[in-house]
Amino acid sequence: RASDLVRGMSSLDRDAFTQTISVPAVRVPVRVLNKVVKSLKKSSIQRPGVPRVVQDTEENADYRLVLLDPHRVTSPTSFSEAEAEALRSFGVPEELHHYELKLTYENLKSEEVLEAVLPQGQDVTSGFSRVGHIAHMNLRDHQLQYKNLIGQVIMDKNPGVTCVVNKTNIIDSTYRNFQMEVLAGEENMVAKVKENGLTYKFDFSRVYWNPRLSTEHERVVQLTKWGDTVFDVFAGVGPFAIPAARRGANVLANDLNPESHRWLQHNCKLNKVEKKVRTFNLDGRAFIQGPLREELPALLKEKVRVHVVMNLPALALDFLDAFRGLLHQEPQCEENLPTVHCYGFSKDDDPDTDVVKRASQSLGFPLEKLCSVHFVRNVAPNKDMLCVMFTLPKEVLYSTEAQTGETGS
């Protein structure tokens, strides 16, 4: 544990964490040292930057001291049966020596530093989302007076992190990007990340990116095949569109945010799929009723498999009414209708039923037995993110009822 003197520190003083503690050790002949270290793996000291083996305090070149974890080993009887047997077989006395070990800030983990500094009894947040060189935190109110210290500790303890930011409001702007405050490090918000073998570059302060969605991106992309067409209504910087294009799909990708659209184009080039992806900078509803509506009749006629991805969980369900009466062609296409993957949040006790009900209301058609719901992740207490997948009903696509347009963004 760090010294109590650091409690309440608001500006990081690394030297204040230096202390000397007494730890147990066993004296081991050099000739059996490696075997003993292996046998005592569970009991030996495990601390960042602290050696398990040190010079013998009696300066005998034939011996070394193996340092033990003081929480695990308090007396010779603390060794497990197997450890005691191993010591006996190697001729090492089960006698404990004491070694004065100097511990510094470098030897402490981030949560240990923060536990020592923040007021006792308060929960410690050392968790963050990693986006390239950026650590993205979501601090609670009681931690804000220590925000710069917390940022510095996170940067110190995580190699490769050179910028720590805190979210200062929820994603409620038109373009889904956070307002952020830099807590520590450089103010460089242009991140480069790898996801599922592909590279994405973007300004994290001006676009939406969630590193916790990589499994979901991969799941949906795996449902596409070579020659399919994918309409990505809320494409962001391309985490669905680009891997789908790499699998051989033809992609039309759209985002309302001009900054997302710019980085989407950049990432298409970066991953060499710019010839497979057409990009648009439109409102989601305008994209459905424009490019999607124009392309769809020929695709249905040619029996091309079509996917529509709608990943804007806060609003996407409300955009489904844009499909009502989208096409008026005769004869109507009965088969090969588009597969829709629409995301939504739910705080309901029965989230699956809730998102299906809301999707049905928006479409003006009951989906209850015509869709599947995939749980994506829990985003907050009592708030789930889900994906509703269904074949767009012909009764909706060829409906004579016009779109209401009341729920657009």
Annotated binding site for S-adenosyl-L-methionine: 217, 255-256, 283-284, 311
- DSSP bridge pairs for 67: 25
Structure tokens at 305: 């498999």
Q: Binding site: which residues?
A: 217, 255-256, 283-284, 311
Burial class (CB in 10 A: 0-12, 13-18, 19+), 118: buried
**Nearest Cα to Cα of residue 136 among 95, 81, 191:** 191
Asked if residues 37 and 88 have their Cβ atoms less than 8 Å apart, the reply is no
